Chain A
Amino acid sequence: MSSEVKEFKIRWGMVIDIDKCTGCGACMVACQAENNVAPAVDGSNKLRSLNWLTVFRLSNHKPFPDHEVAYLPRPCMQCGKPSCVSVCPVIATDKREEGGIVSQIPPRCIGCRYCMASCPYHARYFNWYDPKWPGDLAQALTPDVSTRMRGVVEKCSFCHHRFMKAQEAAVAKGQDPMNLPDGAYITACTEACPNGAITFGDLNNPTHKVHELIKSPYAFRLLERLGTDPQVYYISKREWVRREGDNYLEHEKTGEATKQG
């Protein structure tokens, strides 16, 4: 069990500009379709429905007419120090591979759900029931991601199969698979966002846009003072949005932890 922190040459990460997100949900649909997440008859039941990526509505908690709204898409944070990995008794989830994506191997999962309890982002979901694709819906399954069975936990993988494909394509072209150009590998949600709110790339690679974006004074991460070191960053010029990212005392300012991270 790897509770130690591993250093990676490549760290895939995401920067989500909350000021650009309008909450349309195209990313959620694309994610489900790409990763063969079964549809839910009542998707409005957020306790039972299973999403690798969920869009939350944020509020500045002010009364009308000073109220403001924002939307926050939440994939798996692919934490640098993932709390889920250290609690998994069967190494069904790990952070070991170059790229820094937290893996999840459903056939190995025994369904103890310790990882769900330890994830502070609620990014992990349990298959309470067998997934169902009624009628002919199973015809539209993609060939890239195995379907999961009931009794196991699943989560966002940053569309890891796309990483593998991009590496294969690079090898075929005689390029270095460990130095992919910006945009050669992006997730389905990044691709689907009509507003361009999601930027994806290697946080360590100076030629990738995300490398610069995370240095923005408006960048922050969710609950970053827990020390999980997420690889998903958010950007908002609005102070109240940034404050929603963590539990701040009244006198505390945002941005301190990001600078340290």
Chain B
Amino acid sequence: MDRRGFLKFAAGGTVGLVASPIIWNTLYDAVYWTQNWGWIPRLKKGASEYLPTVSKLCPSGTGFLVRTVAGTPVRTIGDGNNPVTHGAMTALAAAEAELRVSPARLKTPLRRSSDGAYVAITWSEAEMLLKEKLAAAGSLVAAVSGDPTSSINEVLSSMLNQLGSSDFYFMPDEEMPAAAAWEAMGGQGRLGYDIEHSDCILAAGAPVLESWGVVAANRSAFNRTHPVAGEASQKLIYAGAVQNNTAAGADLWLPVRPGTEMTLLLGVANLLIKAGKAGFAAGLQNFASFVSAYTPEKVSGITGVPAARLEEAAKALASAKKPLVIAGSALGSGGSAGPVMAAVAVNMLLGSVNREGGLVDLPFPVSVVSHATEYRETIRKRFVDYTQSVAAGRTKAPAFLLIHAANPLYSLPADSGMKETLDKAGFSVAVASFMSETCEACDLVLPAALGMEAFDDVQTPYGSGRVTYALARPVAKPFADARSAGELYIALAQELKLDTGVKDMPELLYKHAFALGAPFRSMMEEGRVHPASTSLPASPLFYNWEAIRAAASAKAAEGDLQVAPVVVLGMGTAQTAIPPFATKVVTDYQLKGKLSVVQLNGATAAKLKVQSGDHIRLVAGNNVEITAVVAVFEGILPDTVSLVAGLGHTAFDEFSRGKGANVLALTSVSREPGTGLPVWGLAGVKAVKA
């Protein structure tokens, strides 16, 4: 290159550089990367307080301290002074301060306009509308509650009773089949479980360390009976189709095919009788001869549990001082009564009824609101019978349908008739804290305050071994325009000139505390929780072998593959969906991008000619089809696929919406022989490589 060429190149290069965005971009980047970041949130300073209360979002009523900074909740921390949960937390309760301000939180009353869109309205407009629609509905009113532990239910049932309707229901839960089973076996009170004092627990289908019963209390008991690096004072045997979180804490895992837990328990009963464990009660002989057909080999063939492990479990129960057998469902709703009957019978054989560390007879919560339906009556009523009847036109559709703290459109099977009932209802109202699928289908949506923002209570949740009473106290202002649902209903009853006998929530809670002899003042001021010392005369239990035989005749699920759902509280509940701060708890063997992950073992994968990472289509008997990503995992039975529940939301916020598939879509409602209970049949699925 000559001198002229060099100068031309240098001049051209300089002009080019100046004309290009390089310099400006570099300058911009230098400024950008060296500044303080104005758009990164600044921290709020202020006085910290730690206020004890209980969670109303976590089904176990976890006791926590809400840490507030200048009055705003920022953390929830386990309350070590809580006599029920002893400071144990769940992933859901730990995320509650953030859930309070999550994008899905309802801020203001919304009314559906004629074009289908929601418009914000004021509370006084909402109250006027409620009053007008309720007055016009006459006795064609129905309500369902997804929070069985709250005394707000009494206000609702009282209103309905006075309006001439008996259609107040609880959402299907774990207790309904258990209550039916306990009653069938002669139980007169409420079925309770003294998990804390047992030295050997067989949990058949009940994920006691993740989602069954009072989980935080169960975990706290697990903690105390399993010292770090020491010898455990309690043995835990878990029977389930998948090695889930409960199996991880169990000493022995019994891999049982979904829906065959009852057979397993009858096999255990047979082995125990042979080992001389035969707690006497009426019907023992018939029961013994009925279960004698359930030999280890037969049970192993039906359930998939290796006979040796079945015998090991029976031996552990027989040699324990305080054994306890618990039956439940993986999903937590739509379970059968049969396994619970069998579990009660096994406990009877072991002499584990009404003694420390066994099954206990608890008194039912008593209503204090005038004209309210008693808890023990409500728990017997079946919401799905009602919705299916409305859908089929056998029952008149409600002119006014109220859905309190529940998301039935998401949490019930597609053929439950819920959608049709909502479509047919004259006017539907959802009182909820988050914008759920059900809210999106209602005519009026009212934002409810959370447990930490309003007065509410937790009366002995199902799974507890004693009567407990806790108050949820307002430790923070309600978010945006949310209001206490309890106060709303009481005010509405007063407007309609209905007699509830209470003027506000504190009075209602006081009456409950008084009935239990609980120290209301210290509960209110210091957030104390009251464990009541109540005892009932032992129920005249008997081996209702006929009921057991009827329940045991339920058909096995059809299809190539069985579906084993897994519930984890990190996925939230149907009312909360996935809490924003729990999305990272969701694993890559539960969800991958927008697709659910299906877990199956190597043998099943080889049979289906798939491997980890492949896409697979699961087709259920009800023709619902979902596409999922395969993950090979050996902790699962052959010919069984596992999907996590809690995905497949179409509402809520970006943290939950459009992620994976709802495992409930694969289920359909069937009736349990004998009890007639509506159960979610996890019909088998066919799998095709996608």
A contact set with B: CB distance below 8 Å: 15, 17, 19-26, 28-30, 32-34, 36, 39-46, 49, 51, 54-55, 57, 59, 61-65, 67-71, 130-131, 133-149, 151, 191-197, 199, 209, 213, 216, 218-219, 235, 237
Given A213-B228, A218-B229, A141-B41 contact (CB < 8 Å): yes
Q: Which of B169-177, B369-377, B395-403, B629-637 contacts A (4 or more CB under 8 A)?
A: B629-637
Q: Are A39 and B77 in contact (CB under 8 A)?
A: no
What residue of chain B has the Cβ atom nearest to residue A39's Cβ? B580
Contact A146 B73 (CB under 8 A): no
Give Cα distance in the complex from A69 to B76, angstroms: 29
Instruction: Report 28 cross-chain contacts, Cβ distance below 8 Å, ordered by A residue.
Output: A24-B568, A29-B585, A30-B75, A30-B94, A40-B583, A40-B584, A41-B583, A43-B582, A44-B590, A45-B593, A46-B588, A57-B587, A57-B589, A59-B635, A71-B248, A140-B72, A140-B100, A141-B44, A142-B75, A145-B43, A147-B42, A149-B37, A192-B77, A192-B78, A195-B226, A196-B223, A216-B229, A235-B229
Interface pair B91/A22, CB less than 8 Å apart: no
Number of interface residues of B (CB under 8 A): 88
One of B154-162, B239-247, B415-423, B515-523 at the interface: B239-247
B51 to chain A, nearest CB (A): 15
Known: A29-B95, A29-B581. A147 touches B587 (CB 8 A): no
CA distance A76 to B216 in the complex (A): 27
Smallest Cβ-Cβ distance to A135: which chain B residue: B103
CB of B634 within 8 A of CB of A24, answer: no
Instruction: Chain B residues near A55: list those with CB within 8 A.
Output: 585
Would A67 and B248 count as touching, CB distance under 8 A?
Answer: no
* Nearest CB on A from B121, distance (A): 21
Indicate if the CB atoms of A136 and B101 lie closer than 8 Å.
yes
Does any Cβ of A come within 8 Å of B219's Cβ?
Answer: yes
- Cβ of B220 to closest chain A Cβ, rounded Å: 6
Partner of B249, one of A20, A39, A138, A237: A20
- Does any Cβ of A come within 8 Å of B384's Cβ? no
- Which residues of the partner chain B approach A146 to less than 8 Å between Cβ atoms? 43
B137 within 8 Å of A (CB atoms): no
Query: A194, B90: Cβ atoms under 8 Å?
Result: yes
Q: How far is the CA of A137 from the CA of B101 in the complex (A)?
A: 5
Partner among B41, B87, B245 whose Cβ is within 8 Å of the Cβ of A138? B41
Given A39-B581, A67-B634, does the pair A131, B245 have CB atoms closer than 8 Å? Answer: no
Partner of B582, one of A25, A45, A46, A191: A25
**B629 shortest CB reach to chain A, Å:** 10
Contacts of A15 in B (CB 8 A): 228
Interface residues of B in 61-79 (CB under 8 A from A): 67, 69, 72-78
- Minimum Cβ distance to chain B for residue A182 (Å): 13
Give how many A-B residue pairs fall within 8 Å (CB-CB): 236
Question: B residues within 8 A CB of A40?
Answer: 583-584
- If A64-B636, A194-B89 touch, whether A140 touches B228 (CB-CB below 8 Å) is no
A26 touches B634 (CB 8 A): no
Residue B638 interfacial (CB < 8 Å): yes
B residues adjacent to A (C-beta < 8 A): 33, 37, 39-46, 48, 67, 69, 72-78, 87-91, 93-95, 97-98, 100-103, 105, 209-210, 216, 219-220, 222-224, 226, 228-229, 243, 245-249, 253, 255, 306, 309, 479, 568-570, 579-593, 601-603, 633-638, 653-655, 659
| B103 adjacent to A137 (CB under 8 Å) | yes
Contact A69 B581 (CB under 8 A): no
| Residue numbers in B under 8 Å from A46 (CB-CB) | 588
Residue of A nearest to B107 (CB): A136
Q: Does A195 lie within 8 Å of B249, measured CB to CB?
A: yes
Whole-angstrom CA separation of A148 from B42 in the bound complex: 10
Are A69 and B248 within 8 A (Cβ)? yes
What B residues does A216 contact at CB under 8 A?
Answer: 229
In Å, the complex CA distance between A167 and B593 comes to 44
Asked whether A30 and B43 contact (CB < 8 A) given A44-B588, A141-B74, the answer is: no
Complexed CA–CA distance, A23 and B255 (Å): 19
Distance (whole angstroms) from the CB of A6 to the closest CB of chain B? 29
Extra contacts, 9 of them, besides A33-B75, A141-B74 (Cβ < 8 A), are A22-B219, A24-B570, A44-B586, A44-B593, A59-B635, A69-B243, A134-B654, A148-B40, A235-B229
Cα A71 to Cα B33 in complex, Å, equals 39
**Closest 3 pairs between A and B when the two form their complex, measured CB to CB:** A25-B585, A43-B583, A194-B88
Q: Are B582 and A29 in contact (CB under 8 A)?
A: yes
Q: Are B585 and A64 in contact (CB under 8 A)?
A: no
Complex CA–CA separation, A134 to B602 (angstroms): 41
Expressed in whole angstroms, the minimum distance between the Cβ of B611 and any Cβ of chain A is 15
Contact indicator A26/B94 (Cβ below 8 Å): yes
A-chain residues with CB within 8 Å of residue B585 when the two chains form the complex? 25, 28-29, 43, 55
